Amino acid sequence: MPITNAMVLAAGLGTRLRPITNTLPKPLVPIAGKAMIDYVLDLLAAAGVTTAAVNVHHFADQMEAHLSRRALPRILISDERDALMNSGGGLAKGLKLLDDGPVLVMNADLFWIGEKAGGPGNLRRLAEFYDPEHMDMALLCVRIEDTTGHNGKKDFSLATDGRLRRYDEGMERPVVYAGAIAMDSRLLADAPEEAFNLNIYFDRAIAKERLFGLMLDGQWMTVGTPEAIADAEAIVRRFEPGG
């Protein structure tokens, strides 16, 4: 069964992308003529998501105007104009706009291209992989060699049974967190009202051996600096038909 609700974390300031983000919110920065957030929302729509909450803060009016032009998924705005809520607080606030139950979570500035044709995409695979009986969260992960624009940091070690642990030097099967989660929204029912980092819930799940990972198919991109735009656009062109 596909997961039909999603939350997109899109409220960050994008400080490392200045001066571009002095006049434009980071999720609207174009990559090969398409706003970053539209790559993310298109992936969600293709995976069967029909409703997505999106949090906004930096140039929130621009974000709302852009998102209002989308037909799918249906967009619900989680307004953080008054105060940024960090990754965890923003997620907890946005989830209140959605029905309780399974949800996909994505960052607005992390996406991928080049999934194998003919099979289920990464988000459908993640939704099918997620097992709430045994998992608090299932994270989409990627090998360092399948990343573009990444700083080289290894986030987790992926065990053969799919469990994730924080990476320490020398661990086997290092992976990068690819910015997509399958979880149940009720996991954050006890979340504080103020800003907090989502890593708190990652670490809780690790302590209970309930954080799992699934490997991404394709090439994953992060665009953190102006210089990274050209690299990302080259990847998009490579995977386009006739590229």
Alpha-carbon Rg for the chain in angstroms: 17
Contact 202, 208 (CB under 8 A): no
pLDDT at 185 over 80: yes
Residue listed under structure tokens 């104009």: 81
Task: Encode pLDDT of 192-219 as tens digits.
Answer: 989 999 999 999 999 999 999 999 999 9
| Residue ranges making up the domain that contains 53 | 5-239
pLDDT at 41 over 70: yes
**CA nearest 131: which of 62, 183, 178, 181?**
183
User: Average pLDDT over the chain, rounded to whole?
Assistant: 94
pLDDT of res. 129: 97
pLDDT at 74 over 80: yes
Task: Encode pLDDT of 147-179 as tens digits.
Answer: 988 888 899 999 999 999 999 988 889 999 999
Q: What is the H or E stretch that residue 124 is in? A: helix 122-129
Q: How sure is the predictor about 135, in pLDDT bands with cuts at 50, 70 and 90?
A: very high
pLDDT at 187 over 80: yes
**CA nearest 38: which of 83, 60, 71?**
71
pLDDT of res. 152: 80
Contact 115, 15 (CB under 8 A): no
pLDDT of res. 2: 86
pLDDT at 242 over 60: no
CATH code (residue 112): 3.90.550.10
Tell me the HSE value of 194 on the side-chain side, using a 13 A CA sphere: 0
pLDDT of res. 177: 97
Task: Please count the structural domains in the chain.
Answer: 1
Percent of the chain surpassing pLDDT 70: 99
pLDDT of res. 118: 83
Full-model pTM? 0.94
Distance of CA 153 to CAs 126, 140, 147, Å? Answer: 23, 16, 11
Q: How sure is the predictor about 241, in pLDDT bands with cuts at 50, 70 and 90?
A: low
pLDDT of res. 119: 85
pLDDT of res. 151: 80
Q: How sure is the predictor about 95, in pLDDT bands with cuts at 50, 70 and 90?
A: very high
Q: How far apart are CA 224 and CA 229, in angstroms?
A: 8
pLDDT at 243 over 90: no
pLDDT of res. 133: 95
**CA nearest 11: which of 76, 67, 60, 53?**
60
